[in-house]
């Protein structure tokens, strides 16, 4: 069993390992970064710390544009940098009830790439997301192939 932060991205129930999530913030302002990949919305600050804002919807290969202001983001640290992973909703913290299993078919290439696997919780199944791959975005699919 593992403690998970349950989130939703484009209606898809997903999970992040709770040990990787430092906090959940509300995006108040973003400064654009010229020439950044599509899934990097820009920079924001939290307690005088600069965070790179990753649009998880775009990281999943969706082209839908969402106004990030007022939305929630999970704050994670990766390789010495701090990121705000923009999600549609942060639901709760839950325990997994099984080991990670392979992602079943039907989710599509992007979700299969972003997910480490499937986990089961008391509220049902969820894709366990890989933070490295979220940060790389859907463009990382070509590198992995």
Cα dihedral 46, 52, 57, 63, rounded to 10, equals 130
d(CA 94, CA 122): 8
pLDDT tens for the 145 residues of the chain, in order: 899 999 999 899 999 999 999 999 999 999 999 999 999 999 999 988 999 999 999 998 887 777 899 999 999 999 999 999 999 999 999 999 999 998 877 778 888 889 999 999 999 999 999 999 999 987 665 454 4
On whether the CB atoms of residues 82 and 50 are closer than 8 A, the answer is: yes
On whether the CB atoms of residues 42 and 30 are closer than 8 A, the answer is: yes
On whether the CB atoms of residues 56 and 66 are closer than 8 A, the answer is: no
| CATH superfamily of this structure's domain 3-144 | CheA-289, Domain 4 (2.40.50.180)
Query: Token pair for residue 27?
Result: 């995006």
């Amino acid at each position: 069993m593992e403690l998970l932060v349950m989130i939703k991205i484009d209606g898809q129930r997903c999970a992040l390992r709770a040990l990787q999530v430092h906090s959940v913030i509300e995006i108040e302002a973003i400064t654009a970064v010229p020439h950044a990949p599509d899934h990097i919305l820009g920079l924001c600050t939290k307690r005088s710390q600069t965070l790179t804002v990753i649009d998880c919807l775009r990281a999943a290969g969706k082209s839908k544009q969402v106004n990030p202001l007022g939305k929630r983001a999970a704050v994670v640290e990766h390789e010495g940098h701090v990121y705000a992973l923009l999600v549609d909703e942060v639901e709760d913290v839950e325990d997994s009830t099984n080991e990670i299993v392979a992602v079943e078919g039907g989710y599509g290439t992007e979700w299969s790439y972003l997910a480490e696997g499937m986990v089961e919780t008391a509220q049902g199944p969820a894709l366990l997301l890989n933070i490295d791959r979220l940060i790389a975005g859907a463009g990382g699919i070509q590198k992995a192939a």
